[in-house]
A and B are shown apart, each in its own frame.
Chain A
Amino acid sequence: MSEGKESNLPRRRFLKLGVGAVGGALGLGYLGLTGDFLRPPSELSKPLQVVGKIGDFSVASPTLVAYQSSGGSEGVYVTNLGDGGWLALDFHCTHLQCPVDWYDATKQYICPCHGGTYDINGNVLGGPPPHPLPRRVIKIEGDSVLVGGRLV
């Protein structure tokens, strides 16, 4: 070897750095792929879907309909509020997402898990829920009622 010890050291340092840099870059690349892959689909991109005819929904009487997504059905309460327009509410309680039921007798949504209650507009009346029931996009086209993704 013609080179002395001193001139060899920076080269080794360079090689060590190279090992670390290549390993790190590869790792970051896979991490980036993972992050992108696991990103959940956007709620706003959910297409509008016909869930019934106007005539199916009598005024002030919430009806549970199924919104078909790629992975199965999603429960949505659709309400014809008369002059107040139309309302689509996700049927998962905002406390821990148990499914709420509409009771005509008390005019309330009631959650069977911890007794959360909501009014017809989905506003909290009592119990542990921290927020109103989430609203979903709703649209009337002709005499068809269409429901879309969650309004965030």
Chain B
Amino acid sequence: MKWLDERLGLSELMAGIFEHPVHKKSNFLDYLGFATLYVFINQAVTGMLLATVYKPSSTEAWASIKALQASAVGGYVRSLHSWGANFMVVLVVLHLLRVYYEGAYKKPRELTWIAGGILLLGTLGLAFTGYLLPWDQEGYWATTVGTAMAEYVPGIGDYVVRVLRNGAQVTGDTLTRFYSVHMLLLPVVVLFAFMVHFFFVLRQGMSSTDALLAAKQQGKNIESMSIPFWPNVAFRMILLVLVTAAALWVLAGVFPKGLGDAADPLNKNKFIPQPAWYFFGVYQLLKYFPGKLDIAAMVGVPLVGLIALFALPRIDRNPSRLPQKRPIALAIGVVLSAGMVFLTYQGYKSVPKPLPTNMVSHPSYARNINPIFQSKCVACHGQSGGYSLETYTGAIQKNIAPGNPDASKIIQRLEGKLQPQMPLGQEPLTKDQIQTIKNWIQDGAPNN
């Protein structure tokens, strides 16, 4: 240590990083960025391990992951990487919300915020490109749909899609492109943006230290309002990392990441594409923007969001950082976050899920019937089309004769007595599922 110090003056540098006071009010929400850094390191380490066995071509990718899954450690490392991606997205967003609430993006920390915005985009980009790499049906079709959204960009949409995919469709050429972006381009971008982000934080301190500096300038003794960063705050930070790590390791172990069927561009098994969970919001939004307004959901909303994100320090000119003096900014923040949570939840609800197959004698619409409708019917019988099963009112408008299941057209369609049998092109519902719906109609099709 002394040897290095003589040559590099390290202790001076370290003192700058470690020896400063931190406001007593600082709490674990201020360390979310640090927890994100931990998860990024998890991604880097597990990602490098995965790269040692992964074969980036459309003919070998799936089989190489399948082989990896056969070993317990291999499967666990992949599960850590996959769960880590989710953790990273969640932590980055929570960190952003915390900074927004604290008003920490204001002068002089505008550039820290902007570097953070780049980190957010980089994280989402990594999550999106990584989804394709196992080359299973889930990733293949999510990527097809995800990249297809760019088609709605006016004028250059088609070109953008072909650049993203390296062709008109998602093929092995797309896989190679995504692989290089996931492994080289985005990690470099994220690392670079992180260094800038981190440098600014070290240079300017967390926003909560500003109050300390102000007090110091007024000649007050700040000892009583502060605690030293090293080792007190650092210890709290490492505790948050420990909690994050424990959650990550347990989740990765208890809910291991599976591997679906290999990607089939011809989709012979009629896999129904589903978005990754962080796309549930957009997925749901599309349902509210029917027809020609799709462009608003797919281009307009993301574009406005992007501009708002990067221009926030300019848009919000209110100099105060106190939450009680920023009612408008906080109200907008609350509405947007609540909206996102709501859309994500609604989207999650309507994604087809495995249904319980047992028969229910006196079913409830909310618990037993609606889930069947949501997962088997509303993809077609939703907002568009002549008959909507999206809501109770829509469902009972026609085709259901309360008290008389056999006279109800919906039952005749489900049983195939009336052709074509529903759900069209998919496996019919099981006998028990149909019987459950029959029982519900027999009971008078109540909204219970």
B292: A residues at CB distance < 8 A: 130
B419: A residues at CB distance < 8 A: 105
B171: A residues at CB distance < 8 A: 69-72, 74
Which of the listed residues A38, A72, A74, A114 has the most CB atoms from chain B within 10 Å of its own CB? A72
Contact with B along A94-109 (1 / 0, CB 8 A): 0111110101011000
Q: Which of A38, A96, A128 interacts with B163 by CB under 8 Å?
A: A38
Name the interface residues of A77-133: CB closer than 8 Å to any CB of B. Answer: 90, 92, 95-99, 101, 103, 105-106, 110, 112-115, 126-128, 130
* Stretch from A12-20, A39-47, A49-57 that touches the partner: A39-47
Contact with A along B232-260 (1 / 0, CB 8 A): 00000000000000000000000000000
A23 to B107, CA, bound (A): 32
Decide: A103 and B384 in contact? CB cutoff 8 A. Answer: no
Decide: B58 and A115 in contact? CB cutoff 8 A. Answer: no
Quick check: is B17 within 8 A (CB to CB) of the other chain? no
Quick check: is A7 within 8 A (CB to CB) of the other chain? no
B58: A residues at CB distance < 8 A: 71-72
Decide: B385 and A98 in contact? CB cutoff 8 A. Answer: no
Name the interface residues of B140-170: CB closer than 8 Å to any CB of A. Answer: 141, 144-145, 148-149, 151, 158-159, 162-163, 165-169
Quick check: is B291 within 8 A (CB to CB) of the other chain? yes
A137: B residues at CB distance < 8 A: none
A40 to B165, CA, bound (A): 8
Decide: A103 and B265 in contact? CB cutoff 8 A. Answer: no
Name the interface residues of B169-196: CB closer than 8 Å to any CB of A. Answer: 169, 171-175
Decide: A103 and B173 in contact? CB cutoff 8 A. Answer: no
* Stretch from B45-53, B206-214, B267-275 that touches the partner: B267-275
Decide: A71 and B167 in contact? CB cutoff 8 A. Answer: yes
Decide: B290 and A92 in contact? CB cutoff 8 A. Answer: no
With contacts A39-B163, A103-B420 taken as known, whether A66 is within 8 angstroms of B266 at the C-beta atoms is yes
> Whole-angstrom distance from the CB of B178 to the nearest CB of chain A?
12
* Stretch from B120-128, B336-344, B375-383, B397-405 that touches the partner: B375-383
Quick check: is B425 within 8 A (CB to CB) of the other chain? yes
Quick check: is B294 within 8 A (CB to CB) of the other chain? yes
Decide: A113 and B379 in contact? CB cutoff 8 A. Answer: yes
Quick check: is B424 within 8 A (CB to CB) of the other chain? yes
List A residues at the B interface (Cβ < 8 Å): 38-41, 43, 64, 66, 69-75, 90, 92, 95-99, 101, 103, 105-106, 110, 112-115, 126-128, 130, 149-150, 152
Q: What are the 10 closest A-B residue pairs judged by CB atoms, nearest first?
A: A71-B171, A71-B172, A115-B380, A105-B420, A40-B162, A97-B148, A71-B173, A99-B267, A75-B266, A96-B145
